[in-house]
Amino acid sequence: MRLSIHHRTAYRFTAPQARLVQMLRLTPQNSHDQTVARWRIDVDCDALLREGRDGWGNAVTMLYAEGPLDGIEIAITGEVLTSHSDGVLHGVHETLPPPVFLRATPATAPDPAIAAWAAEMASGVPMLTALHRINAGVHARFAPDAGRPDPELTAGKAWLRESATARDAAQIFAVAARSIGAPARYVSGYRCLAREARATPHGWAEAHVDGLGWVGFDPDTGLSPEEEHVRVAVALDAVGAAPVAGSRLGEGDERLDVEVRVSEA
């Protein structure tokens, strides 16, 4: 599948900012399962862009802009070719061993209720089957929430709700998978909705299975990610894989506006 992606992030400030430093995890990488045909990052002000990698091996672009700035807009356009893989990752450069992804974070702290539920899902079955059960179970448990995620909401607190965003469902999956001994990580990227030319920044999870490698699980759909997904960045949780993160020097508040369109080219 050839996917066309347009992603615009705009910040507006109530007071001029003296300086902005942003880390952009917005660039997908080539693998056996996806090929970046073209990709471009545009900024609407005078800014220095420097490419590199973060500690998880993700491609990052550091953005430095000097003020005074009333706002900044970052626009992404590109096309990515994806292929069917049954959710199994192939040809992805790994910089860290799988056990690193057994670690917890404040957002994905171990939770007794999630662990007890995951143990029931995993009882008497192989690890891969258990992970698929957990993925389907998280999908069945929560009504979908298309709103903007609450950055302060942990997986344990999200477990107590009746609905879940894609981000929260993925972090719940990660906590459940780690509780039964499977390294798990959060994935940020894009998903093309069937027969629609619209989307939002998307999040799902990956878990490592001995003898097979990393496998993707999208609890927002209850299935493994496939051709409609574009994989961009990974980390222990959503904060570590956030598309845009950074700091600003200046007073006042900020307003964020995000627009994403993903369609089959």
Q: For residue 263, which amino acid is it?
A: S
What gap in Å lies between CA 48 and CA 87, rounded to an integer? 37
Identify the architecture of domain 84-235 in CATH. Answer: Roll (3.10)
3-state secondary structure 172-239: HHHHHHHHCCCCEEEEEEEECCCCCCCECEEEEEEEEECCCEEEEEECCCCECCCCCEEEEEEECCCC
CB neighbourhood size of 96 (10 A): 13
Say what the pTM is: 0.93
pLDDT of residue 198: 47
pLDDT of residue 2: 95
pLDDT of residue 197: 44
What does the block give as tokens for 33?
């399962």
Please enumerate in sequence order all residues whose Cβ is within 8 A of that of 121, keeping only pairs 6 or more positions apart, or say none. Answer: 130, 133, 134, 137, 176
Instruction: List the domain boundaries for the chain.
Output: 2-80+243-264, 84-235
pLDDT mean values, one per 10 residues, the chain (265 residues): 94 94 96 96 94 95 95 96 92 94 98 98 97 98 88 95 96 98 97 64 95 96 94 97 92 91 89
Query: Cα dihedral sign for 108, 124, 86, 95?
Result: positive
| 2-80+243-264 fold | Immunoglobulin-like (2.60.40)
* E strand residue ranges, 44-158: 48-53, 59-82, 143-144
pLDDT of residue 151: 83
Please enumerate in sequence order all residues whose Cβ is within 8 A of that of 55, keeping only pairs 6 or more positions apart, or say none. Answer: none
pLDDT of residue 201: 81
